[in-house]
Amino acid sequence: MHKMNHTIRSGCRFPSQTIMKSPNTSSSSTTRIITAAAIAILAQLFACLYLSSSNAYALSLKDLKPPAVIVFGDSIVDAGNNNYLPTVGKCNFPPYGRDFEGGKPTGRYSNGKVASDLIVEELGIKELLPPYLDPTLQLNDLLTGVNFASGGSGYDPISAQLAELYGQGARRIGVTNVPPLGCLPSQRTLAGGPQRSCVEEYNQAATLFNSKLYSEIQSLNRMLPGLKIAYLDIYNPLLDLINNPSQSGFEITNKGCCGTGNIEASVLCNRYEPSTCTDDKKYIFWDSFHPTEKTYKIVVNQVINKSFNSFF
């Protein structure tokens, strides 16, 4: 239905229509330009919410309900685009998706929904954000938003690409920071020593990156009239869950549910793993890289509630 080099236009009307390019696996791909780190979400909240700032502070995001959300990113928010790409980075097989509706693996790197789905659900737009490459995608799906994320995608310089989106009409953009990478199960296994501790130097590097990202976002907000880029903090909510798991009903923080939970992801997390857990609600991570749906729900809720005012 869609060709890789096509562009689409949103159904939201503003002075200059926002044009988003479709996925591409090359290093220069615009589909990956907004992803700020290895774990990233971009939710573009379109600029047709013509409300004053004073009114915006008194309302919730559900009250304002953006007409569409478009997401760029990697495997953290891939809703199944990799199903239709020539790559080994797939997860359209069990046990992925076992808690999704019907127990169906959809290409989402989790046991159920991923953050992009939960964003549109939280905003009251629709229940799921479909992958752009899905051949069954309908025109109406485009008008309320689609997902361009692709597992394993790379990254381009963020400043120039944000400015490019601004030139194409984007006025409401959310960019996530980097999570505590040193606490991912895979990184604990590879560099956390015999105790598989969080790798503090990796977390320090993430913190340094986040501070520079925040400064760059603020600079762009000052330079480009009418632009509102929201800095979306996922580092602290996720680290808080890892440090205080019992407060949210978690028990296991240092490994994923799938397989041993120490290193498995994608093809290594499969139906032939006899040690996959039976109760993933106790786990922060589904596999050695990606959170469970329960974790995503908690983090997404916190990010939306905290960052709403940043869009106005």
Determine the average pLDDT of the residues in 157-184.
90
Determine the average pLDDT of the residues in 304-308.
89
Determine the average pLDDT of the residues in 135-161.
89
At 99-141, the pLDDT tens digits run 999 999 999 999 999 999 999 999 899 999 999 999 999 988 9
In this prediction the pTM is: 0.82
pLDDT confidence band for 311 (50 / 70 / 90): confident
How does the average pLDDT of the chain come out, rounded?
A: 83
* Higher pLDDT, residue 4 or 182: 182
pLDDT confidence band for 159 (50 / 70 / 90): confident
Q: Which of 22, 29, 75, 153 is catalytic?
A: 75
Determine the average pLDDT of the residues in 85-93.
95
Q: Hey, which of 18-22, 139-143, 286-290 has the most confident mean pLDDT?
A: 286-290
> 20 pLDDT exceeds 80?
no
pLDDT confidence band for 221 (50 / 70 / 90): very high
> 290 pLDDT exceeds 80?
yes
Domain boundaries, the chain: 7-311
Residue 2 a catalytic site member: no
pLDDT confidence band for 71 (50 / 70 / 90): very high
How far apart CA 309 and CA 256 sit, in angstroms, is 34
Question: Tell me, what's the pLDDT at 24?
Answer: 44
* Higher pLDDT, residue 206 or 37: 206
CA dihedral 20, 23, 28, 30 (to 10 degrees): 20
Determine the average pLDDT of the residues in 290-297.
98
Residue 75 a catalytic site member: yes
Residue 287 a catalytic site member: yes
pLDDT confidence band for 145 (50 / 70 / 90): very high
Question: Tell me, what's the pLDDT at 61?
Answer: 54
* Assigned CATH topology for domain 7-311: Rossmann fold (3.40.50)
Determine the average pLDDT of the residues in 282-297.
98
Determine the average pLDDT of the residues in 140-168.
88
3-state SS track over the chain = CCCCCCEEECCCCCCCCCEEECCCCCCCCHHHCCCCCCCCEEEEECCCCCCCHHHHHCCCHHHHCCCCEEEEECCCCCCCHHHHCCCCCCCCCCCCCCCCHHHCCCCCCCCCCCHHHHHHHHCCCCCCCCECCCCCCCHHHHHHCCECCCCCCCCCCHHHHHHHHHHCCCCEEEEECCCCHHHCHHHHHHHCCCCCCCCHHHHHHHHHHHHHHHHHHHHHHHHCCCCEEEEECCHHHHHHHHHCHHHHCCCEEEEECCCCCCCCCHHHCCCCCCCCCCCHHHEEECCCCCECHHHHHHHHHHHHHHHHHHHC
Phi and psi for 79 in degrees, rounded to 5? Answer: -95, 5
Question: Of all residues in the chain, what percent carry a pLDDT higher than 90?
Answer: 70
At 222-279, the pLDDT tens digits run 999 999 999 999 999 999 999 999 999 999 999 999 999 999 999 999 999 999 999 9
